């Protein structure tokens, strides 16, 4: 007899699904960027679209229903958008039922958008959950977003965790489909970031994925500038690109305009937040970039490596995270994390101080808290490094057994990039040369999403 989990997974394949039409810009217009949903909770979800080629404030009709044709309408209304939000439109649709698939659509000027599909989070007991992870999607590398397309073709996911580098701010070029990435130079102003999202979100594979599943988005560095931190970035030039605070705010504003993320009521650009997926899991999305990160130290600066005052989260976010972990009653605690948490030393030298290796004190604070409160089943899901990894997190000061996992506080899974290149091209193997025993490293980027069981 098949296990209940296998039967549940099989049934998911027959859920109502929006079929992909052969869409063209003429058919999508004025909803050229499709539709999207995100930040679902048990009774609400954000839905998103954008109206193209407008110069004045516009009113947009919307509706949400329980069937693919939206004949059974459960919510509807009219909302306005204008140039102050770049003609993007986000709505927090409330009063919904938990663990339910919904379908939604927008209408403007007699034309209708694609029909999107989304799902609210469960409450209480649930035994099955399947989420995909994505990161590092530079639209002009890898020819096409085939990973996004392969995810969209599945019918057994509940949502997409995107842990950052949804866009790249660096100088634009042609996409794999021959579309010019705008602006031509590096994006650093509000208008520049808006142009960059505008280009990225015209990609049909990305449109299809957003149409099918809700997203849980967080930013990494390329939503603002390479190797960013709270007060600057390695790739920011204040002489030609202006004050960092202005650029940082511009990148954050465009992110919140163009993605289906819920704004915090007291902090407009706060991206760290949590979601309760019934009794099975809590999803805790972190911000390791712009909220509290101190300047990255040099690899040659060993004193900074052990400096207990250095932080990657900032002390308010650290206190929040500890509280989320301690108060969670879910079986699994999943941390959406941008940069590699596990120690990564090659031949005794830290690989990068841009990762948690450069903020050892913060890493130890989390490990100590998890062990001190006996918090079970903590899992980090990470991007950034463009390769696949599975890591135990060794407890400092204790012996670690790579055969049994004894001496590990929790685990980390790092997903490959969507398109951005990697220096790791060798076949899958147990360890990289000179690598620590708590890590298994896989191949570099995968352009096709592994279908898996």
CATH number at residue 179: 3.60.21.70
| Within-domain flag for 22 | yes
Q: How many CA atoms lie within 13 A of 102 on its CB side?
A: 33
What's the average pLDDT block by block, 10 residues per block, for the chain (453 residues)?
42 61 81 98 98 97 97 98 98 98 97 97 93 94 84 95 97 79 95 97 95 98 98 97 98 98 93 98 98 90 80 98 98 98 84 92 97 97 94 93 91 93 51 51 33 25
User: Which residue has tokens 């929790």?
Assistant: 410
Q: Which pLDDT score is estimated for 178?
A: 76
Q: Which pLDDT score is estimated for 6?
A: 43
Same domain (yes/no): 100, 207:
no
Give the number of other CB atoms < 10 A from CB of residue 216. 22
DSSP 8-state secondary structure symbol assigned to residue 198: H
The radius of gyration computed from the CA coordinates of the chain, to the nearest angstrom, equals 22
Same domain (yes/no): 112, 139:
no
Determine the Cα–Cα distance for residues 119 and 103; give it in Å rounded to an integer: 9
Tokens for 101? 């698939």
Number of domains in the chain: 2
Closest of 453, 434, 419, 437 to residue 149, by C-alpha: 419
User: Each residue of 148-200: pLDDT tens digit?
Assistant: 999 999 999 999 999 999 999 998 778 777 778 999 999 999 999 999 999 99
| Within-domain flag for 46 | yes
Q: Which pLDDT score is estimated for 224?
A: 98
End residue of a domain, out of 66, 91, 121? 121
| Within-domain flag for 447 | no
Cβ 224 vs Cβ 290: under 8 Å: yes
Same domain (yes/no): 200, 295:
yes
- The parent domain of residue 403 ranges over 122-441
The percentage of residues in the chain with a pLDDT greater than 90, rounded to a whole number, is 75
């Amino acid at each position: 007899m098949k296990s209940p989990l296998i039967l549940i997974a099989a049934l998911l394949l027959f859920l109502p699904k929006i079929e992909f039409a052969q869409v063209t810009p003429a058919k999508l217009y004025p909803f050229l960027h499709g539709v999207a949903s995100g930040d679902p909770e048990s009774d609400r979800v954000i839905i998103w679209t954008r109206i193209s080629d407008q110069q004045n404030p516009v009113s947009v009709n919307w509706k949400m229903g329980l069937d693919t044709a939206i004949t059974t309408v459960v919510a509807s209304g009219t909302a306005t958008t204008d140039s102050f939000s770049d003609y993007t439109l986000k709505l927090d649709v409330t009063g919904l039922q938990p663990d339910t698939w919904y379908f939604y659509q927008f209408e403007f000027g007699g034309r209708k958008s694609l029909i999107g599909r989304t799902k609210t989070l469960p409450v209480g007991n649930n035994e099955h959950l399947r989420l995909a992870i994505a990161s590092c999607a530079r639209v002009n590398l890898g020819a096409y977003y085939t990973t996004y397309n392969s995810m969209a073709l599945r019918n057994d996911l509940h949502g997409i965790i995107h842990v950052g580098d949804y866009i790249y701010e660096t100088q634009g070029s042609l996409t794999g489909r021959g579309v010019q990435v705008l602006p031509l130079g590096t994006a650093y102003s509000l208008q520049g970031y808006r142009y960059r999202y505008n280009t990225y979100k015209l990609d049909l594979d990305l449109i299809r994925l957003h149409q099918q599943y809700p997203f849980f988005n967080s930013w990494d560095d390329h939503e603002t500038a390479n190797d960013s931190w709270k007060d600057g970035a390695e790739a920011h030039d204040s002489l030609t690109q202006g004050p960092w605070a202005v650029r940082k705010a511009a990148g954050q504003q465009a992110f919140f305009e163009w993605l289906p993320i819920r704004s915090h009521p007291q902090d407009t650009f706060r991206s760290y937040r949590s979601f309760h997926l019934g009794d099975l899991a809590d999803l805790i999305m972190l911000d390791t970039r712009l909220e509290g990160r101190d300047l990255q130290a040099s690899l040659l600066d060993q004193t900074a490596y052990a400096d207990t005052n250095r932080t990657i989260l900032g002390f308010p976010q650290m206190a929040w995270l500890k509280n989320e972990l301690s108060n969670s009653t879910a079986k699994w605690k999943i941390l959406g994390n941008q940069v590699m948490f596990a120690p990564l030393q090659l031949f005794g030298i830290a690989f990068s101080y841009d990762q948690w290796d450069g903020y050892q004190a913060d890493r130890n604070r989390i490990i100590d808290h998890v062990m001190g409160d006996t918090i079970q089943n903590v899992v980090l899901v990470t991007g950034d490094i463009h390769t696949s990894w599975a890591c135990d997190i060794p407890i400092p000061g204790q012996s670690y057994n790579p055969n049994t996992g004894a001496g590990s506080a929790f685990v980390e899974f790092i997903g490959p990039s969507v398109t951005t290149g990697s220096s790791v091209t060798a076949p899958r193997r147990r360890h990289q040369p000179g690598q620590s025993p708590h890590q298994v490293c896989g191949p570099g980027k995968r352009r096709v999403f592994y279908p898996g069981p």
